[in-house]
């Protein structure tokens, strides 16, 4: 029974017990910390490497030079853990395809072709989905597929409907308050239809016209509100 148990033990376990029984307290602590780090990396599926183990041990763990010192045997322990991790990864059986279960060679070849085509179509589908999402506005491919499935119709991807600008009644009020402040309190004036201050143009005539339209004021009300003397050219 004892012989069988010894055979099941890993080489790293045997070396760990040897180092853990050392009379050197620093060596005992170093191997303890290294083993904990290696166990955690193996559990998380992180590849074990000496430099990464030393980094994860932190400032209170062994230095890299100490691990590389052959006399400490710490590097040898990490090397054993690396080899054991690699052997376990290689021993995990790969996922078998459906074709592997087919005995007839001709049918097996046909199934492999279908599997290859399915993988290619999946990649193409993922790429198209990514492309459709980049459109402005994007195309809802899932909704299009669902509608086609319900009605038994062909899948049609129509052009996205133009975005409708939301109406905001508060916008006109806010613009008038801003213009009241600029003209009434900041000495902005209109010159040839343009909003200016100190003879420097702030808004061109087209911009002023757009602002007036957004405020929903008529040309007459606009001229009266902001003391525009000539409504035809916007002078004040």
Top mean-pLDDT range of 4-13, 27-36, 198-207: 27-36
Q: Report how far Cα 228 is from the mean position of its chain's Cα atoms.
A: 54
Confidence at residue 144, expressed as pLDDT on a 0 to 100 scale: 64
pLDDT confidence band for 221 (50 / 70 / 90) = confident
Q: What is the pLDDT of residue 207?
A: 83
Is the pLDDT reported for residue 158 higher than 60? no
**83 against 175, higher pLDDT:** 83
Under a CB-based contact definition with an 8 Å cutoff, are residues 188 and 182 in contact?
yes
Q: Please write the tens of the pLDDT for every residue from 34-71.
A: 999 999 988 888 889 898 899 999 888 899 999 998 88
Question: Could you give the CA distance from residue 65 to residue 152 in angstroms, rounded to a whole number?
Answer: 70
Question: Which of 108, 104, 163, 170 is closest to 138 using CA atoms?
Answer: 163
Q: How far is Cα 33 from Cα 59, in angstroms, rounded to an integer? A: 12
Cα(86)–Cα(107) distance, integer angstroms: 36
CB 44 within 8 A of CB 52: no
Residue with tokens 């055979």: 7
Residue 165's pLDDT is what?
Answer: 52
Name the average pLDDT for the chain: 77
- Residue pair 81/10 in contact by the 8 Å Cβ criterion: no
pLDDT of residue 140: 64
User: Quick one: CA torsion of 158, 162, 164, 165, rounded to 10 degrees?
Assistant: 150
Cα 199–204–205 angle (5° rounding)? Answer: 110
Band of residue 147 on the pLDDT scale cut at 50, 70, 90:
low
Please enumerate in sequence order all residues whose Cβ is within 8 A of that of 38, keeping only pairs 6 or more positions apart, or say none. Answer: 48, 53, 78, 81
User: What local confidence, expressed as pLDDT, does residue 228 receive?
Assistant: 62
Given a cut of 90, whether residue 15 has pLDDT beyond it is yes
- What's the whole-number mean pLDDT along residues 130-156? 62
Domain ranges of the chain: 2-91, 169-225
Integer CA distances (angstroms), 125 to 71, 137, 217, 225, in order: 57, 19, 53, 60
User: For position 236, what pLDDT does the model report?
Assistant: 45
- Retrieve residue 174's tokens: 């806010």
Q: Which residue has the tokens 């054993």?
A: 80
CB-based contact 66:30 (threshold 8 Å): yes
Per-residue pLDDT tens over the stretch 92-123: 555 667 777 777 777 877 887 788 788 777 87
* CB contact at 8 A, 234 and 188: no
Is residue 1 predicted with pLDDT exceeding 50? no
């Amino acid at each position: 029974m004892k012989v069988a148990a010894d055979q099941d033990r890993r080489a790293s376990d045997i070396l760990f017990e040897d180092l853990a029984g050392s009379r050197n307290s620093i060596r005992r602590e170093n191997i303890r910390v290294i083993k904990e780090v290696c166990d955690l990396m193996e559990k998380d599926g992180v590849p074990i490497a000496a430099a990464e183990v030393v980094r994860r041990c932190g400032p209170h763990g062994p230095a890299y030079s100490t691990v590389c010192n052959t006399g400490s045997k710490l590097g040898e322990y990490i090397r054993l853990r690396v080899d054991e991790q690699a052997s376990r990864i290689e021993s995990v059986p790969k996922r078998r395809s459906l074709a592997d279960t087919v005995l007839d060679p001709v049918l097996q070849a046909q199934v492999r072709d279908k599997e290859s085509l399915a993988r290619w179509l999946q990649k193409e589908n993922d790429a198209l989905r990514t492309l459709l999402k980049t459109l402005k506005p994007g195309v809802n491919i899932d909704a299009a597929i669902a509608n086609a499935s319900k009605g038994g119709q062909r899948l049609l991807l129509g052009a996205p409907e133009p975005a409708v600008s939301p109406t905001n009644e508060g916008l006109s009020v806010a613009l008038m308050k801003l213009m009241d402040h600029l003209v009434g309190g900041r000495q902005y004036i209109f010159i040839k239809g343009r909003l200016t201050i100190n003879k420097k143009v702030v808004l061109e005539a087209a911009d002023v016209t757009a602002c007036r339209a957004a405020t929903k004021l008529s040309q007459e009300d606009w001229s009266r509100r902001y003391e525009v003397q000539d409504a035809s050219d916007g002078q004040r």
